[in-house]
Amino acid sequence: MAEKALKQPEIFIWTGTDKRGVRVKGQTRGSNLTIIKADLRKQGITPLTIKKQSSLFSQHKKKRITAKDIAVFFRQLATMMSAGVPLVQSFEIIGRGHDNVSMRDLILKIKSDVESGTSLSETLAKHPIYFDELVVNLVNAGEQAGVLEALLEKAEVRTELPIVELDAADLERAAGAYRAQGNRRVDVTLHEGALTLREGDAPPTRLAALSRFHFRSPADHDLGALFRGRLGIVEWMLLGRGADAEWFHRFEPDPTEVVTAVPPAKLEEPAPPRTAAINWPSFRGPNAAGVGDGQGVPTTWDVASGKNVRWKTELPGLAHSSPAVWGGRVFVTVAISQGADEPEEVGKLADYAVDNQAEHAWKTLALDKATGEVVWQHTAATAVPLTGRHATSSQANSTPATDGRYVVVVFPTAGMHCFTVGGELVWKKDLGGLNAGNYVDASIPWGFASSPIVDGGRVILQVDVHEGAFLAAYDLATGRELWKTPRDEVSTWATPLVYHGGERAEIVTNAPTIRGYDLATGRELWTLRPNSEQVMATPIAAHGLIYVTTGYPPAFPIYAIRPGQRGDLSLPDGATASAAIAWSHPRGGSYLVTPIVYDDLLYVPADGGRLAAYDALTGERVYRARLSKGGNFTSSPVAADGRLFLPTEEGTVYVIKTGREYRELALNDMQEGLTATPAISDGALFIRTRHHLYALGSKPRI
């Protein structure tokens, strides 16, 4: 279906009060103030102000920030620190007293980040238009050595950064289409030997190179762009003006994309018929398939009014692990910082590490499935984390696994613990600090995330970390190691798949090299390349095929693998199928989320609020659609009774009708960020948000 010509929605910043009279604020996209006000009122919000957010390309009316402003700021900061004024308080004093509104906004934004736990050097790096790499490295050195004020006194801020000449190959590397939160698109093109930026119908803006990846507008020095990527491939653009900066992710436009212009009205649909309750034993349910047919989960709900909300339980700390369900219990894990609140970036394109040195308590909670009450909880450890985490991650990302007798949990610092479903500790195993992170620089931690799998009395665990990666099987009842196979891999975050079928049972792992292992012995059976260098998606199985996908350079493939293989399965150049590979696509894989097969279609979510559907048997693409309100995906989709449930980081759960045409049935607002994957059981959809666990559905059977 050809893309329709639509008026680009604009971003509006709003403030209001909720039903409790608490003042709230946020942003939304739209083109009509009346509709925006009506949507806010439906959510129980009384709007007070609604203002259109100006584009970063619009005429900048504030006084520009000069190099002298930056130099004076450093001198003032050094003077106050020498006088014993705390860093955050120094920012407040300097910023509030500044006569340049743009500079004041920048200083107060820096203050906010530092106050939340980000180092000064990491914060300055977010504003490369004003703080180049030389300055950031100097500040970082001062922080590490404890002589920050002395170095700030000596810091030399160049009054004018020199323009450099780049060859066409360097410029072409950055040219392309980029997308930010809310589907905002910016096109970067190479024209007459220079890069130009354009957003929508705005006039193009010419850029001059300050370095290979740093550009600034000659006509407006407050507007600049920084391009980032790995392996020589540009993947991100940080676009900034004044104190405002926004990350854009590079993407490939698709002229055949289906565009949903208007989201659907919420439907009043009866819940589908219910059959016997199923268990959801681990990440994304049995075999990570994510399908919960016959459980009678609703299409719509309203967390504000309580419609179709069975219960809501507040969860302490910060954790992105998903719920597991067995019988009458729901199991979750939490990591609770004993210091300040954990800084977290949700719904944003953040790429930095958080190193919280406060003590954390790692806990496992068992909740009553019918009421949400905590039945038991167990603290695995209380300690300072051995590793840091990504800004969008947590210290408890791995989902529990259970067989109805035992529950197994994994924490990067506290190790692996096994409990009875009644909460009695059976065994525990020290795994050392599981340090997974940037595959180029081991000093940048991003947090561990692979979840354990329970299969046939075994615990299967994939541990891809900076040093000593391995795949291992343990006896579920005793914790005894059955086998352990070293892996020559960089850090990954995928959970393995155990596939039963054909001549043998095998484990499939997703990583830069996709591998199959014998379940009984751990012996490697086959390998497959190319694949992404950063891998999160879990392999899944359906229709006698194993589907593996990733969405990060240098490759973005989708593979449909026939089980029972041996040796190197890599395809020759130009080939898309073989005796071992039923079909493949070199591009189109999902980055952070695990795809899902429902009926005869493979659904693959993509960054920027996109969803593609493929024929699961042939690989033919059926459609590629843009979700009506966009969003970023960290949670993986689940499906039930002809519907996909697709959550976004921003807290919207799209409900999409399965089939060969894209159709949105409902949008449900969770009113909190959402990064965990839902679970399905017994008439309820269990969704974990930033602070709560919800059971969404009608009342349980007695």
Q: Would you list the DSSP string of 79-115?
A: HHHHTT--HHHHHHHHHHT-S-HHHHHHHHHHHHHHH
| Structural contact between residues 311 and 367, judged by C-beta atoms closer than 8 angstroms | no
- Is the model's pLDDT at 569 over the cut of 50? yes
- Is the model's pLDDT at 60 over the cut of 50? no
| Structural contact between residues 377 and 366, judged by C-beta atoms closer than 8 angstroms | yes
| Structural contact between residues 602 and 613, judged by C-beta atoms closer than 8 angstroms | yes
Rounded to whole angstroms, the Cα distance separating 86 from 381 reads 33
To which H or E segment does residue 142 belong?
A: helix 133-145
- Is the model's pLDDT at 30 over the cut of 80? no
- Is the model's pLDDT at 8 over the cut of 50? no
Model confidence pLDDT, tens digit, residues 36-45: 777 777 777 7
Tell me how long the chain is. Answer: 702
Instruction: Output the pLDDT for position 4.
Output: 37
Tokens 């891998």 belong to: 535
- Is the model's pLDDT at 657 over the cut of 80? yes
- Is the model's pLDDT at 59 over the cut of 90? no
| Structural contact between residues 107 and 220, judged by C-beta atoms closer than 8 angstroms | no
Instruction: Output the pLDDT for position 39.
Output: 75
- Is the model's pLDDT at 452 over the cut of 80? yes
Read off the pLDDT band of 236 (50, 70, 90): confident
Average pLDDT of the residues in 95-105: 80
To which H or E segment does residue 177 belong?
A: strand 176-179
Task: Domain ranges for the chain, please list them.
Answer: 10-53, 67-154, 168-251, 286-696
Task: Note the maximum CA span of the chain.
Answer: 75
The answer to which of 199-213, 474-488, 553-567 has the lowest mean pLDDT is: 199-213
Average pLDDT of the residues in 541-565: 93
- Is the model's pLDDT at 3 over the cut of 50? no
The answer to which of 154-158, 314-318, 579-583, 687-691 has the lowest mean pLDDT is: 154-158
Instruction: Output the pLDDT for position 309.
Output: 96
- Interhelix angle for 101-115 vs 67-82, to 10°? 50
| Structural contact between residues 45 and 6, judged by C-beta atoms closer than 8 angstroms | no
Model confidence pLDDT, tens digit, residues 187-224: 999 888 888 988 877 788 888 888 788 888 887 767 88
670 vs 134, more confident: 670
Instruction: Output the pLDDT for position 117.
Output: 73
Average pLDDT of the residues in 270-280: 83
Average pLDDT of the residues in 664-669: 94
368 vs 232, more confident: 368
Instruction: Output the pLDDT for position 284.
Output: 96
Instruction: Output the pLDDT for position 290.
Output: 97
Q: Which residues neighbour 249 within 8 Å (Cβ) at sequence distance 6 or greater?
A: 178, 179, 180, 235, 236, 349, 607, 608
Query: Distances from the Cα of 384 to the Cαs of 182, 356, 661, in angstroms?
Result: 37, 8, 50
Model confidence pLDDT, tens digit, residues 429-450: 999 889 888 877 777 788 899 9
- Is the model's pLDDT at 349 over the cut of 50? no
215 vs 357, more confident: 215
Read off the pLDDT band of 159 (50, 70, 90): very low
Show the tokens assigned to 260: 């949903």
- Is the model's pLDDT at 150 over the cut of 50? yes
Rounded to whole angstroms, the Cα distance separating 300 from 664 reads 12
Query: What's the fold here for domain 168-251?
Result: Lipocalin (2.40.128)
Read off the pLDDT band of 291 (50, 70, 90): very high
Instruction: Output the pLDDT for position 109.
Output: 83
Highest mean pLDDT among 269-273, 479-483, 548-552, 694-698: 479-483
Rounded to whole angstroms, the Cα distance separating 586 from 292 reads 30
* pLDDT mean across residues, the chain: 84
Predicted structure pTM score: 0.76
- Is the model's pLDDT at 245 over the cut of 60? yes
Instruction: Output the pLDDT for position 85.
Output: 81
Rounded to whole angstroms, the Cα distance separating 438 from 385 reads 18
Instruction: Output the pLDDT for position 600.
Output: 96
Query: Distances from the Cα of 517 to the Cαs of 235, 462, 497, in angstroms?
Result: 33, 12, 10
- Is the model's pLDDT at 549 over the cut of 90? yes
The answer to which of 131-140, 157-166, 241-250, 654-663 has the lowest mean pLDDT is: 157-166
DSSP β-bridge partners for residue 419: 407, 425
Read off the pLDDT band of 563 (50, 70, 90): very high
- Is the model's pLDDT at 267 over the cut of 60? no
The answer to which of 267-271, 466-470, 505-509, 538-542 has the lowest mean pLDDT is: 267-271
- Is the model's pLDDT at 348 over the cut of 50? no
Instruction: Output the pLDDT for position 126.
Output: 75
Read off the pLDDT band of 424 (50, 70, 90): very high
Question: Which is nearest to 242 in space by CA: 51, 122, 73, 64?
Answer: 64
Q: Specify the CATH class of 67-154 in words.
A: mainly alpha
Average pLDDT of the residues in 484-506: 93
Rounded to whole angstroms, the Cα distance separating 277 from 515 reads 34
Show the tokens assigned to 385: 């984390």
Highest mean pLDDT among 5-19, 38-52, 153-167: 38-52
Rounded to whole angstroms, the Cα distance separating 488 from 466 reads 10
Average pLDDT of the residues in 601-625: 93
To which H or E segment does residue 428 belong?
A: strand 425-429
Query: What's the fold here for domain 286-696?
Result: Methylamine Dehydrogenase; Chain H (2.130.10)
Instruction: Output the pLDDT for position 198.
Output: 87
Instruction: Output the pLDDT for position 161.
Output: 56
